[in-house]
Amino acid sequence: MYWKRTVDQERSRMVQKGQIGDGPVLYWMSRDQRAHDNWALLYAQERALVLEKPLAVVFCIDLEYPAANLRHFAFLLRGLEELQNTLKNYAIDFHLLQGAPDNILPLFLEKTHPALLVTDFDPLRIKKRWKEKVLEHCSIPAFEVDAHNIVPCWLASNKREYAAYTIRKKIQQQLPRFLTDFPDLQVHPYVSAPASIQPVTVNTLLKQVKDKSVGEVDWLKPGEKAGINLMDDFLTHGLHSYSTDSNNPCLDGQSNLSPYFHFGQLAPQRVAWEVEQSNATRDNKEAYLEELIIRRELADNYCYYADDYDRYSTFPDWAKRSLDEHREDVRPYLADLETLENAGTEDALWNRCQQDLLQNGKLHGYLRMYWAKKILEWSVSPEEAMANALFLNDKYSLDGRDPNGYAGVAWSIGGVHDRAWADRPIFGKIRYMNKNGCKRKFSVTEYIKR
């Protein structure tokens, strides 16, 4: 059969050598939960075509995943339900296993004897640990593909970057090579003997979710198609004023695509490509791509190279020194986790931000900074601030538990990717934000009333 290599081989790397098995090529999908515009799936298909093997996808749903609750599982599972149907149209089997991958995947590999294993890249600790453990039990060749970043994380930089200005050039130099359109997924010509595959039964799985205290959101539809629709809507209506409107929480100036990126239901590269092809002005394109490419890929770089990305120890030395000098400063107001969680602080703007998180699962990007910096101001220590901010962000944000969240909180509280500012009480040299700053940017009264 004729086939043409369409995936840049630099997007993948071999993570284990081994003997090719006699079963299908298997893509262990984890971070990138989509059928289209997925370099890991395309790579797996390419390998399967060369080997003349069937292609299968396996996803392990771990209902004990840290900080995940009904809000997150519903978005994820409804996306998988759609994905399963899409893959069927391409003659690609989809297996959904229940449990942590390091527990259940080795047995599945033993039973199915895949030819080889392909998986997607994720810089978070738990995902790295899963991968290491699965590979310990795996004797077939295994490959990792970065399907989330435009420039594969390990190629963008080989070290933890100091700030956006240190990674920007490295990424930009490689964009002409990596920022391309995607090839189409093909209907797979080699099929397995009919496997008895359990369909994804979302409602049964949702019943088993232990933490149902945080409900589903109704303003955003999960799934690959909904992600593409929202992208189209943003390209038509939002991109043209992004550089002026995106920092005003009273306007609908952001794309709201982060939940789709987080669950891998939409490829950042698809959006970047469409933005480049659009007729928006250079200013708007550049402003959006700075966030979508540079800031997002910097966050992946941070988590990949700093294993303590969610702890105080990760802060730069100047920030730790300065925060240490201010440990004993009098805090005129303190808010413990319960007060924060219940949006019961002395600050009406902050409470409104927290209510957005509670109800909508998303807080405007500009206010996320204010929200986190107030937590530093009201906590007995920066360690407590970091822990409380991450707890709330991960629990309530639909896009939480993401490298962007770890980088965003560490930026706000610990000066990660930032520089030292004028010294002041409690904050030391960490960049300060207050309500007057917000008032200069937007109508605080209007936002609170919304």
Ligand X SMILES: Cc1cc2nc3c(=O)[nH]c(=O)nc-3n(C[C@H](O)[C@H](O)[C@H](O)COP(=O)(O)OP(=O)(O)OC[C@H]3O[C@@H](n4cnc5c(N)ncnc54)[C@H](O)[C@@H]3O)c2cc1C
Contact footprint for ligand X (CB under 6 A): 246, 254-258, 261-262, 291-292, 295-296, 299, 365, 368-369, 372, 393, 397, 399-400, 402, 404-405, 407-409, 411-412
Considering the complex, state which of residue 100 and residue 271 has its C-beta at the smaller distance from ligand X: 271
The least CB distance from residue 219 to ligand X, in Å, is: 13
The least CB distance from residue 18 to ligand X, in Å, is: 35
DSSP-derived pairing of the beta strands 93-98 and 117-120: unpaired
Q: What are phi and psi of 22, to 5 degrees?
A: -95, 0
424: tokens are 């002041």
The least CB distance from residue 422 to ligand X, in Å, is: 20
Tokens 């590979």 -> residue: 135
The least CB distance from residue 289 to ligand X, in Å, is: 9
Query: Closest Cα to residue 108, out of 83, 85, 140?
Result: 140
The least CB distance from residue 329 to ligand X, in Å, is: 22
**DSSP one-letter code for 238:** I
Considering the complex, state which of residue 146 and residue 402 has its C-beta at the smaller distance from ligand X: 402
Q: How far apart are CA 329 and CA 117, in angstroms?
A: 54
Considering the complex, state which of residue 140 and residue 363 has its C-beta at the smaller distance from ligand X: 363
- Sequence length of the chain is 450
Considering the complex, state which of residue 322 and residue 388 has its C-beta at the smaller distance from ligand X: 388
Detail the DSSP E strand segments found in 137-194: 142-145
Considering the complex, state which of residue 53 and residue 262 has its C-beta at the smaller distance from ligand X: 262
Q: How far apart are CA 83 and CA 74, in angstroms?
A: 14
SS (H, E, C) 247-301: CCCCCCCCCCCHHHHHCCCCCHHHHHHHHHHCCCCHHHHHHHHHHHHHHHHHHHH
Q: How far apart are CA 319 and CA 413, in angstroms?
A: 9
Query: Closest Cα to residue 38, out of 235, 291, 265, 272?
Result: 265
Considering the complex, state which of residue 45 and residue 388 has its C-beta at the smaller distance from ligand X: 388
The least CB distance from residue 29 to ligand X, in Å, is: 20
Considering the complex, state which of residue 92 and residue 156 has its C-beta at the smaller distance from ligand X: 156
CA–chain centroid gap for 304, Å, is 13
Alpha-carbon radius of gyration of the chain: 22
The least CB distance from residue 10 to ligand X, in Å, is: 23
